[in-house]
Amino acid sequence: MLISGFVLAAILSVMLLTRTAELRYQRDVNRMVYNDNLGVLNEVKAKLGMSGDSLNTLLSSTAAEATNQPYLVVSMADHRLWYKQGKEILFEAPVATGSGKELVGGSHGRWRFETPRGRLTVKGKDENPAWVPPDWHYVEQAHKKGLGIVHLERGEALPTSDGGVITTRNGEVVKRYPNGNTVSLGGGVEGKEIIANGNIVVPPYGTTARRYMGVLGTRRLELGDGYGIHGTDHPESIGQSVSHGCVRMRNEDVEKLYPMVAIGTPVYIY
């Protein structure tokens, strides 16, 4: 009888713990939905093996929809963006998203090009945005061309094989020749980076050589941490997983979307 009592008590304890866990999960889900904290909700779902690219689930549970606040939805599986208010679709267009590829730069770093999932917010807007490429851009270009990497610091003089030096002056990267002539190396152009002695030169931040125009198209919605929804100079990439993490749109599409979206608009990416 004593052993039976112990067994019965153990069974009841397990049932009680299971029920308590279920109630806590339901409480947490309700709290997160009311707080519009979809990022935390996705972490809970992931732990339970329930996460996935379910657009229907997303659209039926967003707090933005419940308050009738306009919001953006991006489905990476469908390569499509929707701008919605309640159940109404105000705008939709195809997009390109992160490739998911990894770039290893040895001592220069390691990067994975993924579009962030979850709830983000439009933090800023700009027209004809300049792209300030991170270091991975130069590492990627060096890999493509079989070159090395060298970082140029402000005020530093980098010798070249022809007897000149590459240095900075008044916010520009310039080349000074042995005869004393100095020539600006201009603004950044994708695929035409500065090369010296078998290395791609990484310009200092804040110089014109580290500002690329046109790469991000004509409009950008900033999402923070270097991510954004923007146009592109490669419209053929739309509909594919090829970006370095941002959501790309055709310029004509982002120009239509841009005036509709206010700063502070929620963005749900799945």
Q: Which residues are catalytic?
A: 230, 246
Residue 138 is classified by DSSP as H
Using DSSP bridges, classify how beta strands 118-121 and 266-269 pair: parallel, antiparallel or unpaired: antiparallel
CA neighbor of 187 nearest in space, from 176, 203, 167:
203
DSSP label at residue 107:
G
The whole-angstrom separation of Cα 126 and Cα 256 is 14
Contact (CB, 8 A) for 232 and 238: yes
Which amino acid is present at 30? N
Report the run of H or E that residue 142 belongs to, with start and end: helix 135-145
Number of other CB atoms surrounding residue 198 within 10 Å: 12
User: How big is the CA angle at 219 (ends 217 and 220), to the nearest 5 degrees?
Assistant: 105
Q: How far apart are CA 259 and CA 139, in angstroms?
A: 36
71 burial (CB, 10 Å; 0-12 / 13-18 / 19+) is buried
Tell me if 215 sits within 8 A of 84, measured CB to CB.
Answer: no
Environment class of residue 96 by beta-carbon count within 10 Å: exposed (0-12), middle (13-18) or buried (19+)? buried
